[in-house]
Structure 1
Amino acid sequence: MDARNLKLDGGVQCYREGNPGAPDQAPTLVLLHGISSSAGSWAKLAERLPGYRLLAWDAPGYGDSQPLAMEAPTAADYAARLEAWLAGLGVERCVMVGHSLGAMMAAAYLAAHSGRLAGVVLADPAQGYGDADAAKRDAVYRSRWTQLEAQGHVAFARERAPRLLREGADPADIARVEAEMHKLNLPGFIQANGMLANDLLVRYLPATPTVPTLVICGDEDRITPPEDARALASRLGVPYRDIPRAGHASYIDAPAAFAAALDDFTRPLLRAADASKTP
């Protein structure tokens, strides 16, 4: 995936583009990474989606993307940057894939900018702790960035990366997750931890979404367990799909199954859109 950047009013937004030579009519998938990751984490999945234009951002405060200006941004603030980025790229229609904390950002984007979306995939979704008591929210807020600050990137990544994958994960995949964690910027990571601790996905999707939505989850996810993802799908009244033999970073553990889930969800939406254009 090719590294790119776009200058916005709020600062530079960095991203990676997969299959940049795809024809103009190729469907666009927008990929939002989780709290301990970055745009580069999607490279393995990208190899299995040759028919799509892929746009994977480095969330604000990640990589070289300008952090958000507010001290404690909400998912809605990240969604506003998303909208500026997609508008700046001229993306008129896309399917948005939000993984983990990215799922909350995708939900906030759906709530505010559904007109640009053909569909949304909430993958291994983090649902937030905004309805928890103050002590729990503070514990969640401090649970990751304080470890990164104390341990340093190498030790933090070595300890945490295996938890994001299935038991007995491919060592190359563990190394891939570790490499993305080495890129974390502490200020942006702190902001994202604050959003996880104090925001709530249900604030943005209190009822059935206004565009087609799919919830998927690795069947060995130890961070956002499958039962929680199934419950979310049931509450929203949308389909649910397991990703077999996959942990939390299901698109890294099982990229072929993850790609198949995306393709199965996206192709009917595209056929419906094409049919609506037929005189």
Structure 2
Amino acid sequence: MTSHPTPADILTPNAEALAAGRQAYRESGEGPTIVLLHGISSGAASWEPLARHLPGYHLLAWDAPGYTDSQPLASSRPLAADYAARLDDWLTAVGVQRCVMVGHSLGAMMASAFAARCPERLAGMILADPALGYRHANAGKRDEVYRSRWTLLAGQGHDAYAAARAPRLLRDDASDDAIARVRDGMRRLNVDGFAQASWMLANDSLEGYVGDGWGVPAAVLCGDQDAITPPQACRDLAARQGLTYHAIPRAGHASYIDAPDAFARALDALARPWLATLPRG
């Protein structure tokens, strides 16, 4: 009898030894590759609900440098380009030549930088509930953004921080399972890696990597109840960059956790034609 994976083991933990150190990730499935980049308060395990709705794809969800068991970046003040360089090394090590890349929130900034660095490696890119970055804000605002998360985590501890912050990433009537998943991701945060990511958010810009265009097909997705990166800001980004915009109904900022089925449908509808000409496997 064929055994079917339980929800807990759809995305299997894995790691790759890179020159820069250990890179942790989760993996599932066979077919064209979709790479999943989590946001600032999350990790690879957060993509489990979405994975259940995406059969027929090879899913690779990384734990960003400094998250769970991934080696932090060398610089305490990294930019998205530094994360993109690690992405490049990791995808080379695991044998991925081309993929669709999904960047959620801060992960969208990393995806943007990767598209600028390696457009030939992307069949398409999805910016989900994208964080735009604060590079053009004044020094006081940048410092506030930098210190607003990791200092609270360090001061309050993981349980208190997760209990207070997790519901804000979801719709008002989010399920208990969704809230528990977001809390679990926050409990796994490493303060040093969190601080590095916070520096990038405060001092870099998603659109700073566009230049004359990313050179790859791209689209913007956003939860219709997103209070962190509001739908209007995401629609404005799509309009400025000439990208299609897709609202995810009944979803907050962590739209792929709030509404994984709707998110998966939108992702599949975009990725399938982008990947149609690529070899499977």
The residue that corresponds to 2:231 in the other structure is 226
After TM superposition, give the deviation of residue 270 of structure 1 in Å.
Answer: 2.3
Q: Aligned partners of 2:250 and 2:142: how far apart in 1?
A: 31
Pairing 1:186–2:206 present: no
User: What one-letter code is carried by the residue in structure 2 that aligns with 1:9?
Assistant: A
- Alpha-carbon distance, 1:207 to partner: 4.3
In structure 2, the partner of 1:9 is: 19
What one-letter code is carried by the residue in structure 1 that aligns with 2:23? Q
Matched, 1:90 2:92: no
Give the drift of 1:252. 0.3
How many residue pairs align between the two structures? 269
Runs of 4+, deviation exceeding 6 Å: none
Once the two structures are TM-superposed, the CA of residue 202 in structure 1 deviates from its matched residue by: 1.2
Deviations 1:209-239 (A, max 9, x none): 3110010000000000010111111111010
* 8 Å Cα contact 2:100-2:275 kept in structure 1: no
State the Cα distance separating 1:273 from its structure 2 match: 4.7
Superposed, 1:45-60 pairs within 5 Å as: 45-60=50-65
Aligned to 2:3: none
Gaps of 5+ in 2: 1-10
* TM-fit CA distance, 1:206: 3.7
Q: Which aligned pairs between 1:150-189 and structure 2 lie closer than 5 A?
A: 150-189=155-194
Q: How does 1:71-220 map to 2 (within 5 A)?
A: 71-220=76-225
Task: Verify the 8 A CA contact 1:207 1:235 in the aligned structure 2.
Answer: no
Structure 1 residues not aligned, in runs of 5+: 275-279
Q: Quick one: which amino acid aligns to residue 118 of structure 1? A: A
Aligned AA for 2:229?
T
**Structure 2 CA distance for aligned equivalents of residues 64 and 40 of structure 1:** 12
- The aligned residue for residue 39 of structure 2 is 34
8 Å contact 1:120–1:212 — kept in the other structure? yes
Shift of 1:62: 0.1
- The change in CA–CA distance for 1:122 and 1:271 in structure 2 (over 3 A counts) is same
Q: Which digits, 9 at most, give the CA deviation of each residue in 1:133-160, with x for residues without a partner?
A: 0000000001101110111000000000
What's the counterpart of residue 252 of structure 1?
257
Paired residue type of 2:269: D
8 Å contact from structure 2 (residues 32, 278) kept in 1: no
Taking the aligned partners of 1:233 and 1:189, their CA distance within structure 2 comes to 28
Q: Kindly indicate whether the alpha-carbon contact (under 8 Å) linking 1:207 and 1:236 is maintained by their aligned counterparts in 2.
A: no
Structure 2 CA distance for partners of 1:154 and 1:48, relative to 1, 3 Å: same
Identity level (%): 61
Residue aligned with 1:37, SS = coil
Partner of 1:267: 272
Q: CA RMSD in A?
A: 0.9
SS of match in other structure, 2:83: helix
Query: Secondary structure of 1:241's partner?
Result: strand
TM-score w.r.t. length of structure 1: 0.95
- Deviations 1:48-73 (CA, angstroms, capped at 9, x unpaired): 00110000000000010000001201
Contact 2:223 2:248 in 1 (8 A): yes
Retained in 2: the 8 A contact 1:208–1:238?
A: no
Q: Secondary structure at the match of 2:160?
A: helix
**What is the distance in 2 between the residues matched to 1:98 and 1:171?**
25
- TM-aligned CA deviation for residue 271 of structure 1: 2.6
Query: In the aligned structure 1, how far is the partner of 2:126 from the partner of 2:117?
Result: 16
Is the partner of 2:126 in helix, strand or coil? strand
- Aligned mates of 1:270, 1:143 — CA distance in 2: 39
Please state whether the residue corresponding to 2:148 is helix, strand or coil: helix
Q: Quick one: distance in 2 between partners of 1:212 and 1:8?
A: 29
Aligned match for 2:69, one of 49, 64, 70: 64
- Residues of 2 paired with 1:206 and 1:143: CA distance? 30
Pick which of 206-215 and 245-254 moved more.
206-215
